[in-house]
Amino acid sequence: MALAVRMTKLEKVRFMDRLAPYPAVLWPVPEGGMEVIFPNFAELKAFGITREAAVKAGSEILTAEILKYAVGGRDLPRPSDPKRLIADEDEPPGTELVMLEPDRRALVRYLGLEKTQKASALRALGVLGKK
């Protein structure tokens, strides 16, 4: 999905509507913890001491990467179909494929859609525009 560097509100809303989860591989590290790698973002990595911390760190770094794509006006890669991803024979035991969602609330705040959504909700309820 291509984004202009200066997106209109409609483009921002459409961008948010088209966001999908991305596959991530949780890779156990011999020293402890888990590394998170993303098949769709070759250089993107995160780490967590526990599985839960790794998932949280993965979601945060995914959100930051998506924001970089949006600000730079670059196309986001399409998320790979997890059913079509092939396990590497060198993967250590405990390796896991998960689907991670970007932090939508952070994206909404960054893109300036909070007020727009609140105002739209109030208009829909008939609260605004009355004298």
- Percent of the chain, pLDDT > 70? 83
Can you give the pLDDT at residue 80?
92
> Would you place residue 115 in the very low, low, confident or very high pLDDT band (cuts 50, 70, 90)?
low
The residue ranking higher by pLDDT, 127 or 26, is 26
pTM for this entry: 0.78
Output 40 or 85, whichever has higher pLDDT.
40
Give the domains, in start order, of the chain with CATH numbers: 9-125 (3.30.160.250)
Give the span between the Cα atoms of 131 and 126, in whole angstroms. Answer: 11
Residue type, 71: V
DSSP helix/strand/coil, 55: helix
Q: 2 falls in which pLDDT band (50, 70, 90)?
A: very low
Residue 69 is predicted with a pLDDT of 85
For the cut 70, the answer to whether the pLDDT of residue 3 exceeds it is no
- Whether pLDDT at 130 is above 60: no
Q: Which two tokens stand for residue 57?
A: 């760190």
- Given this model, what pLDDT does residue 119 score? 58
Kindly tell me if the per-residue pLDDT of 116 is higher than 70: no
pLDDT single digits (tens) 16-75: 888 899 999 999 999 999 999 999 999 999 999 999 999 999 999 999 999 988 877 777
Q: Which residues contact 21 (CB under 8 A, 6 or more apart)?
A: 79, 99, 100, 101
Element holding 122 (H helix, E strand): helix 114-125
